[in-house]
Amino acid sequence: MKYSSNVNKEMTVKLLDWFYANKRDLPWRHDVRPYSVWISEIMLQQTVIRSVISYYKKWMKRFPDVHILAKAGEKEVLTMWEGLGYYSRARNILKCAHQLIGLYKGTIPDEYDKLIRLPGIGDYTASAILSIAYKKPYPVMDANVNRVARRILALKSWDLFIKKEVADLLKKIISSKDPGGFNEAVMELGQRVCLVDTPLCSQCPVSGHCVSYKKNLQDRIPEKKNLQIKSRETLLPILITENRKSILVFEKKRGVLQGLWMFPGISRTGGYAERMEQFIEKNISDDFEKHGKLTVRTHHYTRFAEKLFPFIYSVRKPGKKLKEDWMWIPFRELEKYPFPSVYRRILQDVEEYMKNL
């Protein structure tokens, strides 16, 4: 292995010493049962630590183990997840809990090949469970680990072979006594020291092993990928009943927001007041009143941003047969329905607006 001379067990020891002297006090670090590692690692995917802490505590209080979780309904699980985003993670957790009960009597397997077949568990989560809960030497590879390793080895390219080379190298240096600590140490180094834009090399415990640091390449590695964020704009005619007691929402049946509730929307092109009103006449009622517009909100997805333009209408006679999945829900029951966080925010705007209606 041509890059490995600088990366050795001495580096592993320095990394672990730094980690145990500096690690943050996080709730999942007090409970390394396979169940807790699984839930925390899924929550932490694509989500910053400070946002996960309160969700994790609430989750563990309500679903302290696989058996209790497996008895919950999807609606409750999605409501607990509301605001964390990437809701397929929550749906997969529930599916996985059912399989764990059916296949393994509620225990979480300690073999990679079994873990990887479970819903929502990929290489990263399987390796985290095996290393942290079962103390087996499986290195994890997330964006932080990848960046730290590429900088230490001074690898510019995003080539897949290089990814494999990084993985092989981690397998060689992972601590056999403390594989979980090693994995957490590399991740924590990426989160707190080897930062994306400004790596803090003067505070880094492994700078003596880092080729990028020696060659002053740390700002250029890894090369930035050119991700284009697309955007789109959606009109949201928000419909409430004339007595102000119910609101029209629908359940998403497909896609990344499957199982969540939202307002029906239409693409914002052309004269939009007319288009919204035609939409209401066609689908809900021709007896309605327009009130006003609410704050424009943005829903961020991985690859695009959706700007939402909400307008309030009240409907006097909601006469038309609603589309399948659309429902009038009383305001007092909305808490029981999971909404993407930006829609929950719009709901708060609606309630605020209605105080002055």
Residues with a catalytic annotation lie at: 41
Each residue 177-196 as x (binds ligand SF4 by CB under 6 A) or -, in order, gives: ----------------xx--
Phi-psi region of 313 (alpha: psi -120 to 50; beta: other; left: phi over 0): beta
Which residues between 148 and 167 bind ligand SF4 (CB under 6 A)?
A: 148, 151-152
Q: Considering beta carbons, is residue 131 or 207 the nearer one to ligand SF4?
A: 207
Each residue 280-319 as x (binds ligand SF4 by CB under 6 A) or -, in order, gives: ----------------------------------------
Q: Considering beta carbons, is residue 190 or 259 the nearer one to ligand SF4?
A: 190
Residue 189 CB, nearest distance to ligand SF4 (Å)?
A: 7
Interface with ligand SF4 (CB under 6 A), residue from 213, 288, 311, 313: 213
Structure tokens at 254: 């497909």
Could you tell me whether strands 261-262 and 246-251 are parallel, antiparallel, or unpaired per DSSP bridges? antiparallel
Q: Considering beta carbons, is residue 223 or 351 the nearer one to ligand SF4?
A: 223
Query: How many CB atoms are located within 10 Å of the residue 313 CB?
Result: 19
Tell me how many residues contact ligand SF4 (CB under 6 A): 15
CA 36 – CA 128 distance, rounded (Å): 11
Query: How many CB atoms are located within 10 Å of the residue 283 CB?
Result: 16
Query: How many CB atoms are located within 10 Å of the residue 134 CB?
Result: 18
Which residues between 132 and 151 bind ligand SF4 (CB under 6 A)?
A: 148, 151
CA 10 – CA 206 distance, rounded (Å): 9
CA 348 – CA 219 distance, rounded (Å): 43
For binding to ligand SF4 (CB under 6 A), which residues are involved? Answer: 148, 151-152, 193-194, 199-201, 204, 206-207, 210, 212-213, 218
